[in-house]
Amino acid sequence: GAALSPGLVAQESAVLPWMLGLILILAAAAVLLITGRGWRLGLALARRARMPVDRISARFPRGSHFGLPARSWAALGLPLLLSALFQVVVVLINLLVCLALGIPLTFIQLLWIVAVVSLLQALPISIAGIGVREGAYIYLLQLQGVDGSRALALSLTLFALQIAMAIVGGTLQVRGLLRAQS
């Protein structure tokens, strides 16, 4: 999304090739590690770098990939599809809130903004991402020409929606538990 964002590409065109290269490297590493095929490659590279991996790998059975079974490529497809679908829904919710608040952002711009904000708010440096999320939205949306007050309104509205959905889900779960006990 950042690579396709007009505001970022126009300002930092020299960063684009590096960004695309990093995306490809990280995607390949994720696929190798998730399918269980990357552990052998990682061990081989670590041995090549003369790291003491033989003592660590000797503790695990041969072919176990550190105790993790190798998965098929097909087993990777469904989780990737579901996670992509979830992220698209989250970005669409952000887009709808942006439209309601009069924030002129595109779906492509929000793809990378929401991804960065999600990663930052997941860091264990605040409670529920409060403060981190707001600062990230304000900073990233100002890069796109959005006023800071509107960016803060977007962030707080999205947080309120998250809380409302959590309350509904928690209430339904408690209700189900109470029914199961009676």
pLDDT, tens digit, for every residue of 16-26?
677 778 778 87
Q: Read off the pTM.
A: 0.65
Q: How far is CA 52 from CA 37, 66, 124, in A?
A: 20, 15, 31
Among residues 172, 173, 6, 13, the alpha carbon closest in space to that of 104 is found at 6
Residue 142 has pLDDT above 70, yes or no: yes
**How confident is residue 101, by pLDDT bands cut at 50, 70 and 90?**
very high
For residue 126, the tally of other CB atoms under 10 A from its CB is 13
pLDDT digits (tens, 9 = 90+) for 39-97: 667 667 777 777 776 666 555 555 544 444 556 666 667 777 888 899 999 999 999 99
Across 101-122, average pLDDT: 92
11: Cβ contacts below 8 Å, ≥ 6 apart: 143
Please give the DSSP secondary-structure letter assigned to residue 73: H
Contacts 24+ apart (CB under 8 A), 96-102: 97/154, 97/157, 97/158, 97/161, 98/154, 100/157, 101/150, 101/153, 101/154, 101/157, 102/150
Kind plus residue range of the DSSP H or E element containing 141: helix 132-143
| Pairwise CA distance, residues 134 & 153, whole Å | 9
Q: What backbone phi and psi angles, to 5 degrees, belong to 72?
A: -80, 165
- Is the pLDDT at 9 greater than 60? The verdict is no
DSSP 127: S
Per-residue pLDDT at 27:
78
Total Cβ atoms within 10 A of residue 65: 20
List the one residue out of 30, 32, 2 whose CA is nearest residue 17.
Answer: 2
Q: Are 157 and 18 in contact (CB under 8 A)?
A: no
* Per-residue pLDDT, 21: 80
